[in-house]
Amino acid sequence: MLMDNFRGLILAVSSSVFIGSSFIIKKQGLKKVGASGPRAGQGGHSYLYEPWWWAGMITMIIGEIANFAAYAYAPAILVTPLGALSIIFSAVLAHFILKERLHIFGMLGCALCVVGSTTIVLHAPKERHIESVKQVWHLATEPGFLVYFWVVLAVVAVIIFQYVPRYGETHLVVYIGICSLMGSLTVMGVKAVGIALKLSFGGVNQFKYFETWIFTIIVIF
């Protein structure tokens, strides 16, 4: 278990490095495109022909794959907070590469990310030993989580159809809210599929259960 947590830790940290770098690389590509044509925010799609943007996208995909693998080894409460490191890594690179000045509130935010992540990781509860995807399915179908699931979907639907058209272009928190709320649901699917792959490669096939395919569909969606 300790070795699995260590592997998950390494994968989560490397994921943050890749994802944090990808933001800077893509921003470089968007700046190059914006200097010679309509910006992406104005409806332009010329960034799809920019190699720097694709390099950033590939870097992000690598980071997300590492993040996905981390959930297969370490508890979600250990992996998820470490995602905040990508913010810090991105902020530091933006300061030196993009020449974006990090003001006092940005520094305070980075410090809070470090303190928060460290506190959660140090006090993370021990993960129960899971031997099959059926156990994850049992936890996911408990009444409390089902109520939370439908409440989150309802709130996300309201945000998408009511608030995105009005405030989507001026308030970033609208999209952050959608991403965070949906992420709180999809992390269950990611954890389940990660465990299924880990156990299947170990000789215990988990893809014979229909629950595994439901979690897989959720992750793909």
Q: Tell the burial category of 46 from Cβ atoms under 10 Å away from its Cβ (0-12, 13-18, 19+).
A: middle
Inter-axis angle of helices 133-140 and 210-220, to 10 degrees? 70
- Per-residue confidence (pLDDT) for residue 44, from 0 to 100: 64
Residue reference for tokens 């990781």: 121
Give Rg (Cα) of the chain. Answer: 19
Q: What is the pTM of this model?
A: 0.74
Q: Which two tokens stand for residue 93?
A: 């690179």
Q: Which two tokens stand for residue 133?
A: 């995807």
- Per-residue confidence (pLDDT) for residue 198, from 0 to 100: 84
Segments of the chain scoring below 50 in pLDDT: none
Q: Residues for the chain: how many in total?
A: 221
- Per-residue confidence (pLDDT) for residue 99, from 0 to 100: 83
- Per-residue confidence (pLDDT) for residue 159, from 0 to 100: 95
- Per-residue confidence (pLDDT) for residue 149, from 0 to 100: 92
Q: Tell the burial category of 142 from Cβ atoms under 10 Å away from its Cβ (0-12, 13-18, 19+).
A: exposed
SS3 101: coil
What is the spatial distance between Cα 16 and Cα 109, in angstroms, rounded to a whole number? 17
Give the pLDDT confidence of 63-113 residue by residue, as tens digits: 999 988 888 888 877 888 888 888 888 888 888 888 888 888 888 888 888
SS3 124: coil
- Per-residue confidence (pLDDT) for residue 41, from 0 to 100: 61
In contact, 135 and 215? CB cutoff 8 Å: no
Q: Which two tokens stand for residue 83?
A: 């995602």
SS3 43: coil
What is the spatial distance between Cα 105 and Cα 101, in angstroms, rounded to a whole number? 11
